[in-house]
Structure 1
Amino acid sequence: MSPVEIVAQLHQSQIDEAVALIDEITSHDGLSPISEHVFLHLRHGGDAQGLHFLKYENAQLIAYAHLDVTDKVEGPSAEIAVAPEFRRQGLGTEIIQALVTAAPDGNLRLWAHGEQSVSGQWAKAMGFDHARSLWQMRRSLLAPLPPASFGDDVILRTFIPGQDDDEWVALNARAFAGHDEQGDWTLADLHRRMAEPWFSIPGFLVAQDRDTGTMLGFHWTKIHGEIQVTPDHPHAHDAIGEVYVVGVDPTLQGRGLGKALTLAGLHHLRSCGLVQSMLYVDASNTSAISLYEALGFSRWDVDVMYRHGSVT
């Protein structure tokens, strides 16, 4: 096998190879080894401050990793993808060691998507410590679903591209102040997601003040694929709807607007013919977990962040 290549900017052929590898792993494992944020940047050539790690065997890309060095407070973070047929050959350890070597002072955070993921197994075997957990929760859309109740002063409508963009970015920043992964989204981040094949205007709900027209909150839903199991895709999975992002103006907390928006989005997903919904929530956010449990969600799986070195 060739040594691990480390590049700051990918060529289009390398992008295509990495995307194909991630798609293969997602189909095999039932979940992506790479977060949406990293995957979107990858498809558009990567970000200016990221590093890409590539491992080839006979000109075939068999492993890919991304190192994000933009967080100067928490430290660099990484995600790994290894082709299923090349696992248990020491590739994970080799890639992680290359990541640790490239990270300043050897400080590294590593995401493992799924509680039983191979990335988590590699991290624990190499002495990484547990740093954070992100729950995936699910709910059947076949079970009874309460109505979404809004006050008479609130109008529920769909997002209007080109009109709502700036106001949505500003509201998102207020709603997720202190949560950089979500609150730091820019117009470019919004537009990048709107350009994705899964984007659907009917699934992007907005609550606005009836009198002033001010945006009060939103629920952006997402539908994950509709691939059915066939002889060519034996590991495919049925479509599932996601509570992608729910945000409410912080000055309106406690009025039940978040609950109403969540329910409105679930009703939309059910109307699309879906039978299952999911969402992600930080394991430390007990108030949000309590709300989602009250709406019928339960824990399904866990993404875990592991830490190496003195990152805090």
Structure 2
Amino acid sequence: MWTQDLSPDQARQVRDLARQARANDGVDPLNEEAYRSLTDQTARHVIFNNNNVAIGYLNYSVRFATGQFVVHPEHRRRGIGTGLWRQLPSSPPVGLWAFGDLPAAQGFAAARGLRPERGLLKMTRPLAALPQADIPPDLVLRTFTATDADELLALNAAAFTHHPEQGQLDQAGLAARLAEPWFDPAGLILAFDADGMVGFHWTKQVDAHTGEVYVIAVAPRAQGRGYGKVLLAAGMSHLATQGLPTVVLYVDTADQTAVRMYERAGFVTVHRDVRYIPIQEQE
């Protein structure tokens, strides 16, 4: 049965289920939006229980028309995943995320007439021997303050016009992220020229060993000037000062300009997330 309001115990059970799947598969079965929706009512949920314990979970984002599901490793190949998938509406068509695009996910998708439509690369590099980038004389870098919120949102919207998730960041979404335990104003680096904000690099400490290039954005009017490279170097330098040995990032495979920038900065791909859609929607 669908619900949009999970109890604290249900949310805890979903996190426990995801943790067990992650330990088994080596990849998290849910993304940040799904985890946030466990408490903010921004998605719809189906939980499959066995003796009052969650062994299957489906997350459906109406806003992004995407689904994510996970089945406990000890209860797979029993039709639970298929049953969850069948709960998704057929109209409008829903994209199904496969994080890590593991062989089992590929087989599941192929057997149900789903084909890859979008990909995200997870890339990583050590936070040592970092590339340097000279800051142009007309560019000023500083850290975020609360008064920068409106300008940051406007720049983000302009930079990610065609991005289905990041481009929809609004005041509520920004406020939620600023309230996260991991948020550090010193890790949100802004770039300005004479006409205002031209870019930002939002970094994130994932755990005691890993930092993340959470978001890099450059205003359309300033693209092609190398500001992305400057912001990338500044953000990685900040993460290195926190004593973190490794940095990761996620980038859309369609954004080859960004992929090449990261490759030139020493990042390598460690896995790929794939969004599958019904084959008739792709043709």
Q: Give the alignment's TM-score, normalised by structure 2.
A: 0.92
Give the unaligned 5+ runs of structure 1: 227-238
**SS at 2:33's partner residue?**
helix
Identity of aligned residues (%): 37
Query: What does 1:12-161 correspond to in 2, within 5 Å?
Result: 12-44=8-40, 46-47=41-42, 50-71=43-64, 76-99=65-88, 102-104=89-91, 107-116=93-102, 118-142=104-128, 144-160=129-145
Q: CA deviation at 1:117?
A: 6.3
1:257 paired to 2:246: no
Q: CA deviation at 1:28?
A: 4.2
What is the one-letter code of the residue matched to 1:109? G
The residue that corresponds to 1:270 in the other structure is: 240
Q: Counterparts of 1:28 and 1:109 in 2: how far apart (Å)?
A: 24
Q: Counterparts of 1:124 and 1:271 in 2: how far apart (Å)?
A: 45
The residue that corresponds to 2:281 in the other structure is: 311
Check the 8 A contact 2:113/2:279 in 1, yes or no: no
Which of 186, 189, 201 is 1:219 aligned to?
201
Q: CA deviation at 1:202?
A: 1.6
Check the 8 A contact 2:99/2:272 in 1, yes or no: yes
**SS at 2:113's partner residue?**
coil
Check the 8 A contact 1:110/1:307 in 2, yes or no: yes
**SS at 2:46's partner residue?**
strand
Q: CA deviation at 1:118?
A: 4.3
Check the 8 A contact 2:160/2:166 in 1, yes or no: yes
Q: CA deviation at 1:309?
A: 5.3
Q: Counterparts of 1:86 and 1:197 in 2: how far apart (Å)?
A: 33
Q: CA deviation at 1:17?
A: 2.3
Q: Counterparts of 1:131 and 1:218 in 2: how far apart (Å)?
A: 29
Q: CA deviation at 1:27?
A: 4.3
Give the 3 Å change call, closer, same or farther, for CA 282–167 of structure 1 in structure 2: same
1:293 paired to 2:263: yes
Give the 3 Å change call, closer, same or farther, for CA 19–43 of structure 1 in structure 2: farther
Give the 3 Å change call, closer, same or farther, for CA 259–246 of structure 1 in structure 2: same
What is the one-letter code of the residue matched to 2:130? L
Q: Counterparts of 2:258 and 2:240 in 1: how far apart (Å)?
A: 22
**SS at 1:246's partner residue?**
strand
1:188 paired to 2:168: no
Check the 8 A contact 2:68/2:96 in 1, yes or no: yes
RMSD: 2.0
Give the 3 Å change call, closer, same or farther, for CA 7–86 of structure 1 in structure 2: same
**SS at 1:178's partner residue?**
coil
Aligned pairs, number = 282
Q: Counterparts of 1:53 and 1:131 in 2: how far apart (Å)?
A: 24
